[in-house]
Structure 1
Amino acid sequence: NGMTLASTRIPYTLAIEGHLPKKEFFSKIDDKYKQPVNSSVVMYVLGIIFLIAMLATGNPDIFGDVPVALFWLFYCLVFLGLFILRKREPNLERPYKVPFYPVVPVLALIGGASIFVYAAISNPGYMAISVALTLTGLFVYRDNK
């Protein structure tokens, strides 16, 4: 429920910041309820499609496991970014210190990568579709910069 309500704000925010096609469509606000109308409808329809796909495959766990594994791929990019930032900006003020650097980020990188790799091995078709859908965001973002 909370995710459904929060998800309606994502396309709306992307639209008002100019990062989404059809900015006027997704940024429309209902006068009475002050909610992003079109953004809500699109996200609700996507949610229904997701539920239908879960019922059609008969395996609802796969639709939870695969996105989590895909999230870990992005976490790995964050862990790599930590090393890059430390190399490029050695004198930058760091309000948060990484304990036992570089051991903790290396372990996190190994753990995150293994989650992604094992998910790709156990569900290659779903992972390929998930990665392909995620990569479509690059084209949407590129066209609206």
Structure 2
Amino acid sequence: MRVAVLVKATKDSEEGIMPSAELMEAMGKFNEELVAAGIMLSGTGLKPSKAGKRVAFDGPDRRVIDGPFAETRELVAGFWIWEVKDMDEALAWVKRCPNPMPGPSEIEIRPYYEMEDFAEVESPEGHASHQRAAEALARRENGAA
């Protein structure tokens, strides 16, 4: 089961306040444990929303919205992508995580949709397209062009 583990933004992270050396060290050690356990597939911190953009969709129309974005509690400051056996394993790992922010913070765990979740609504053409994209990504990850 793949999950996105989302570190929620705080006022400090949105102001660009950098973590302490101690927190960076603790998070580095935690990441090493995740990698050694075969859990962590990817992860990184995100710059404050003032460096970001959103694109709003309405039918064929697109509208670009410049950051910063107002609702800090709804923003993500960083993430991991994990492969776990189930939600209980993901929860156990998150509970071991150092507090990712200097003050109160939250981490959200969201399971991925897998292609089999779309079996009832996916056309053969759609399935083939997604399969080709997945194969191209796998080749890229393995160093082939």
Q: Do they superpose with TM above 0.5?
A: no
Name the structure where strand makes up a greater proportion of residues.
2
TM-score, normalisation: structure 2: 0.26
TM-score, normalisation: structure 1: 0.26
Name the structure where helix makes up a greater proportion of residues.
1
